[in-house]
Chain A
């Protein structure tokens, strides 16, 4: 038979089709298959930081929604979330279990600075993505030395600098007392604060007292801080202790200008247990829409979030900002996985995580998520807010890059 042009054309097209499908081949690392993506998570469902367990639950609930809608690129998300009780020794154990026994593709939003510090070297040694860690310590944004670890929320040192800047502007002669958790999280906030005050740090800070996360209460520390006669208070505590501190300050009749770190700025988890009347006037920094703020309780973003809460977390606390945090972080990850497509290698996951430029529905207007090969801090912008007894009222400008 003579090879006519028609046959040749068909043959060429067929050859191209076969080769292009070879090019678009799926690539998997351990934990990813055609049907599912295994994701590991470690949260403090028990122990002194168990208020943050709500974040892990929210993430599971969001993944349930994604799975019900068909998954990502046809793959379901299998989220294996283990409890570490905020105990770094247990975190090491759970991380080993997730990576070596459950063989997850990567771990996501592991919570707490001490727990994450304990597995930092291990995850990088195992070349497994340690993604969007639920802590703002400055050390997570170090792609040169730890290319497999990426932070998520605004880093603590820049947040403290915003507070320090505000104090310098509004109360340059303040006498500041500080309560901080004695671990890398507390010390990171403290360093940023002292750097922000610069030379005046020595004269302005009259007292800094620490507590251990395993302490039952911080009452004695509060009494000592009040005794120094300070008129400004920087409260570097996790939710359980933040509530105790606010309550104790009110009981002692101490009414300083109170700055609360963003990690404990949840109305449902902190302000209500502390007594809302005791929290009036407290400053914090926000990057998420607080669910108790009436100005955000409308519009498509709110409706979506509320519908998700009602369907997938009917027993969840609508006033708890941790539910907004988990929702937003999960959305961030979904975007990374969508961008990764069928190339689900660990290297590509990190590459996609380092190429983000988007906004998410429950972030404050003006706050975005942006990463690059040298920029492992996805969220960097924050706005100051003041508690009015019901919600955090935003004011001023949006700080950050």
Chain B
């Protein structure tokens, strides 16, 4: 079995990087905006994957953390004039606390019951955000309109200017890269192994000395924090938040993204993001009257062809290629 030639790995990685950097100048602004959303969803899915894929705690309520992150960013930017990049760490901290507070009582719940409890949270969020008492801050049902940050410098490349959307593309790419790196670092060490141990056999994990309550709550917190950070980035990219932007559908779509990308897979989050951003648009184009039905069909087809998600399929394909060369 030939190991992968390092030269080729470097070559393809550099090519991929160059491709990613040039991409926004090859397409129109609207497409770049859609790519930004793919990156935002990828980060959110990464957060959920850490909890559900690696730690086995099913959450149908991550849309709630996304919403809290988005509103944190919106309120900080709109009411307090905080610069947009500073809202991201703030959103992480706020959602980490929320996640921890949700994760702690959730220790008593397992499997389906946790799913139901988080589902209830997701359902409640739009109503909570419309609550009259905090309307002054949240803008009520009309939400908050934000101004998109302008790029700090301007240039033209391939005859396209560095517009606000393209600047945000690079910003989101950097943030996504950072989050993926941090997650990879976190999960490949002791912590990652502990998370998987807790998922697969919690009693054995406790016997090995892993502090179950602390670990599970912290995981909930970190997962919520990352999804909240994605929410804040999403608010900046879309430049608008309203309670009805964050219905229970968002939570379900995030879970779809996790499964489609591949459970317990970090790169899978990108594919999950691509799926949940573009497939509804494709379904819309195929049928104007029943786009949800088409979306359902596409999803079922996907699950049938790639039951372990995209990364699972890639892994199987890779294994098949390697056994071929061995034989």
Contact = CB atoms under 8 A, between A and B. Distances in A.
A184 B238 contact: no
Given A182-B132, A214-B244, A114 B30 contact: no
Contacts of B140: 182-183
Interface in A54-111: 87-89, 92, 96-97, 100-101
Contacts, number: 55
B199 interface: no
B28 interface: yes
A213 B244 CA distance: 11
A213 B242 contact: no
B141 A114 contact: yes
Contact of B143 (A88, A100, A120, A122): A88
Given A96-B33, A182-B141, A118 B240 contact: yes
B245 interface: yes
A117 interface: yes
A338 interface: no
A388 interface: no
Nearest to A85: B244
A121 interface: yes
Interface in A157-209: 182-184
B145 interface: yes
Given A100-B33, A117-B142, A212-B130, 6 more contacts: A88-B143, A92-B239, A100-B28, A117-B145, A183-B140, A212-B141
B80 to A, nearest CB: 19
Interface residues of B, number: 20
Interface string B229-240: 000000000111
A120 B132 CA distance: 23
B244 A118 contact: no
B33 A118 contact: no
Interface of B: 28-30, 33, 126, 130, 132, 140-143, 145, 147, 238-242, 244-245
A101 B28 contact: yes
16 contacts: A87-B242, A88-B141, A88-B142, A88-B244, A89-B242, A92-B239, A100-B28, A101-B28, A114-B142, A118-B240, A122-B239, A182-B130, A182-B140, A182-B141, A210-B132, A214-B126
Nearest to B31: A101
A114 B244 CA distance: 12
A100 B29 contact: yes
Nearest to B30: A100
Contacts of A213: 141
Q: Specify which of A89, A114, A214 lies most central, judged by the most chain B CB atoms within 10 Å of its CB.
A: A89
Contact of A183 (B126, B141, B238): B141
Which of B126, B132, B143, B147 has the largest number of chain A CB atoms within 10 A? B143
A87 B28 CA distance: 26
A212 B33 CA distance: 31
Majority DSSP secondary structure for residues of A touching B: helix
Interface of A: 87-89, 92, 96-97, 100-101, 114, 117-118, 120-122, 182-184, 210, 212-214
Nearest to A88: B242
A118 B139 CA distance: 11
Contact of A121 (B29, B132, B145): B145
A96 B30 contact: yes
B93 to A, nearest CB: 25
Contacts of A120: 145
Given A100-B28, A182-B140, A213-B141, A92 B240 contact: yes
Given A89-B244, A182-B140, A118 B145 contact: yes
B130 A88 contact: no
A397 to B, nearest CB: 35
A365 B145 CA distance: 40
B142 A118 contact: yes
**Residue among A87, A88, A213 facing the most chain B CB atoms (10 A cut-off):** A88
A87 B245 CA distance: 8
Contacts of A184: 142
B282 to A, nearest CB: 14
A87 to B, nearest CB: 5
A213 B130 CA distance: 11
A182 B141 CA distance: 8
B145 A183 contact: no
Contacts of B142: 88, 114, 117-118, 183-184
A113 to B, nearest CB: 8
Contacts of A92: 238-240
Nearest to B288: A83
Contacts of B145: 117-118, 120-122
Contacts of A87: 242, 244
B141 A89 contact: no
A96 B130 CA distance: 25
A101 B33 CA distance: 11
Contacts of B141: 88, 114, 182-183, 212-214
B30 A89 contact: no
Contacts of B242: 87-89, 118
B147 A121 contact: yes
Contacts of A122: 145, 239
A122 B238 CA distance: 11
Contacts of B132: 182, 210
Contacts of A96: 30, 33
Contacts of B239: 92, 122
Nearest to B246: A89
Contacts of B126: 214
A117 B241 CA distance: 12
Contacts of B33: 96, 100
A102 B93 CA distance: 39
B24 to A, nearest CB: 14
A101 B147 contact: no
B73 to A, nearest CB: 15
Contacts of B29: 100
Contacts of A210: 132
A182 B143 CA distance: 12
Given A87-B244, A89-B242, A118-B242, A101 B30 contact: yes
